[in-house]
Structure 1
Amino acid sequence: MSIDLKSLELFVRVAALGAIGKAGAEFGLSATAATQRLQALETTVGTQLLHRTTRAVSLSTDGEIFLAHAKRILGNVEEALADIQPDAQDIKGDLRVACSASFGRLHIAPHVTEFLEHHPGVTLQLAMSDSVVDIVEQGFDMAIRIGELAPSTLKARKLAESPRLLVASPKYLERHSVPTTLEDLKHHNCLAREDMRTWSLTSADGTLHDVKINGNFSSTSAEAITEAARSGLGIARKCAWEIADQLTNGSLIPVLKNHTVSPYWKVFAVRPPSRLPSARVRAFTDFLEAKFKTVPALCDQA
């Protein structure tokens, strides 16, 4: 009996999604091609694994048993591949990575030369944009995402922390006073990212508060918000890694330090669900994780 791993991966995705067409699209297969592949798998194992109707797909009794084994097999293969990583000098090929513009400029681009010197056979394409890209549809090997991950089929690995805080310039605070309560915050000029007019903060006793903010400036650019806050326009909600230099030189000062910004954010590496991680992806992910551990603002030590 011979079963290829791609058919097992497809079967597992169909079981998770309940839809052959949607699962097949993750593998670059039409619904017809995906169906044929699943039928061939059923022929090989000698039993019906899926019940199909015009509206839905569900597991048969044998399919439920087979699913547990399929997941275990794929997990063992992934672990095996991770254990036989080639030498750095032997890792070759293209690596396409997506990330936000601000984070990429500050915490990825400065390390690109070192990574490529360690892996001379790799060609790295770093796409930096504040728009969230569909890495499956656009053919990226991985992406660096910051925040709370939305439900998806992507596989994620946490790389670092991304604590957030409220900040303002000394000039602004001298002119408008320092807020000491959440009620005070409502009367300050708050700088909104895009059109996010509600800030969630957790007090020391663990109570979550949603505060409606007011302000005369918003932007789709994280760096524009930083500059506006630094120049004295108002109070901004920022990731610690974005403003580490400004916190150090005193051009931005934390406010309402007895509250934490919610939800708590983290930095993740995400990759397509239907692929085992290549040596290139593993190498770059490990490299970034090691770099991030040396940055206090990415370790909740800002």
Structure 2
Amino acid sequence: MSFDLKTLELFVRVATLGAIGKAGEEFGMSPTNTSQRIKALEAELGVKLLNRTTRAVSLTPDGEVLLENSKRILDELEDMRTVLTKTAESVSGQLRITASASFGRAHIVPFVPEFLSLYPNVSLDLNLTDRVVDIVEQGYDMAFRIGALPPSSLLAQKIYDNPKWLVASPDYLDQAGVPQTPEDLAKHACITMGKVQTWRFMSVDSKQHDVQVGGPLSVNFGDAISEWVLAGMGIAEAALWHAGPDLVAGRLVRVLPDFQIIPQTSIWAVRPPGRLMPERARAFLSFMQANIIATNQTRYGALL
């Protein structure tokens, strides 16, 4: 029988991606096998689901109907599965997670003991690296990523906003002066991430300011930027989760608080394609998101 759960999942991915081969690859199937499976589904239902060309596929009216109902069926099955497997004792197996080193140390590592106490049958393999890991090829359940996500077949869920501000130490501002406009930054030592030399801002009246900045220091590691800013070496862009403790303590202050850095970014959890998420991954994502939100609101709510 062709009308089964895997075939519905496959059909939804084909419809979403508009490509039979790419969808089949996510399921470990060849383009030929994928096409045969979709044709068998069409034969069983007695309708044509896809319009096929050499470059892409599109849905027929019957395909649109099946897509809508398939999504609803899969959602209901996933909800049922969650209800039936929601006890902590039933959540088990090894969980493989990767995240950037700085973010992982700040927002994942501190909460792992509590998570494992809640789910004692789960083991965790946590890879903290600033290299972008291919989570499908290397077998990870999930990755936490910050910023704009490139187009991919990975499934993404927004965890939290990632507000970015300009920061500096009080000592630096005492010596170099306090910028009043983005254009004033051209006269200051600005610590940049890698080769980025243009900072963009939006004023309260929605006017964009593009400023060429420079200084004696640039680096590709956020922790180094934090140390240099604290040492009074200049002004830098910093995310709230990174600079928050120092802002609260007064070791850093915001610069140009009336101008918003653009683009603003978010914190994301991405996972391999496929409809069903392992329950251990679902539990970890829910737990970490709740703690990330609570931590930021509790510690840094006054800054927002």
- TM-score, with normalisation over the residues of structure 1? 0.91
Contact 2:148-2:265 at 8 Å conserved across structures = yes
The CA distance in 1 between the partners of 2:301 and 2:46, in whole Å, is 54
224-233 or 199-208, which deviates more: 199-208
Cα displacement (A) at 1:20? 1.1
Cα displacement (A) at 1:167? 0.7
Q: Which residue of 2 aligns with 1:54?
A: 54
Letter of the 1:99 counterpart: A
1:162-214 deviation per Cα after TM superposition (whole angstroms, max 9, x unaligned) = 21110112232222111111110122111111222222222122333222222
Q: Which residue of 1 aligns with 2:208?
A: 208
1:69-107 deviation per Cα after TM superposition (whole angstroms, max 9, x unaligned) = 222222222222233333112211121112111000111
Cα displacement (A) at 1:150? 3.5
| CA gap 1:300/1:202 in 2 versus in 1, 3 angstroms | farther
Q: Which residue of 1 aligns with 2:277?
A: 277
Contact 1:226-1:243 at 8 Å conserved across structures = yes
Q: Which residue of 1 aligns with 2:37?
A: 37
Q: Which residue of 1 aligns with 2:11?
A: 11
The CA distance in 1 between the partners of 2:302 and 2:282, in whole Å, is 26
The CA distance in 1 between the partners of 2:73 and 2:275, in whole Å, is 14
Q: Which residue of 2 aligns with 1:173?
A: 173
The CA distance in 1 between the partners of 2:208 and 2:274, in whole Å, is 37
Cα displacement (A) at 1:40? 2.4
Q: Which residue of 2 aligns with 1:233?
A: 233
1:41-75 deviation per Cα after TM superposition (whole angstroms, max 9, x unaligned) = 22322223223333322223322222222222222
The CA distance in 1 between the partners of 2:302 and 2:264, in whole Å, is 14
Letter of the 2:15 counterpart: A
Q: Which residue of 2 aligns with 1:116?
A: 116
The alignment partner of 2:159 has SS state of: strand
Letter of the 1:118 counterpart: L
The alignment partner of 2:149 has SS state of: coil
Q: Which residue of 2 aligns with 1:190?
A: 190
Contact 1:7-1:37 at 8 Å conserved across structures = yes
The CA distance in 2 between the partners of 1:299 and 1:11, in whole Å, is 44
Contact 1:89-1:120 at 8 Å conserved across structures = yes
Contact 1:161-1:299 at 8 Å conserved across structures = no
Structural RMSD (CA): 2.1
- TM-score, with normalisation over the residues of structure 2? 0.91
Contact 1:161-1:300 at 8 Å conserved across structures = no
Matched, 1:255 2:262: no
| CA gap 1:301/1:279 in 2 versus in 1, 3 angstroms | farther
Cα displacement (A) at 1:293? 2.7
The alignment partner of 1:295 has SS state of: helix
Q: Which residue of 1 aligns with 2:73?
A: 73
Q: Mind listing any 5+ residue stretches in structure 2 that lack a counterpart?
A: none
Letter of the 2:187 counterpart: H
The alignment partner of 1:124 has SS state of: strand
The CA distance in 2 between the partners of 1:275 and 1:198, in whole Å, is 40
Contact 1:145-1:268 at 8 Å conserved across structures = yes
After superposition, residues 85-96 of structure 1 pair within 5 angstroms as 85-96=85-96
284-293 or 39-48, which deviates more: 39-48
The CA distance in 2 between the partners of 1:235 and 1:85, in whole Å, is 50
Q: Which residue of 2 aligns with 1:23?
A: 23
Number of aligned residue pairs: 302
The alignment partner of 1:191 has SS state of: strand
The alignment partner of 1:294 has SS state of: helix
The alignment partner of 1:286 has SS state of: helix
234-243 or 8-17, which deviates more: 8-17
Cα displacement (A) at 1:121? 0.8
Q: Which residue of 2 aligns with 1:264?
A: 264
Contact 2:202-2:259 at 8 Å conserved across structures = yes
Q: Which residue of 2 aligns with 1:102?
A: 102
Matched, 1:293 2:293: yes
The CA distance in 2 between the partners of 1:204 and 1:300, in whole Å, is 21
Q: Which residue of 2 aligns with 1:146?
A: 146
The CA distance in 2 between the partners of 1:53 and 1:247, in whole Å, is 57
The CA distance in 1 between the partners of 2:16 and 2:8, in whole Å, is 12
Letter of the 2:257 counterpart: K
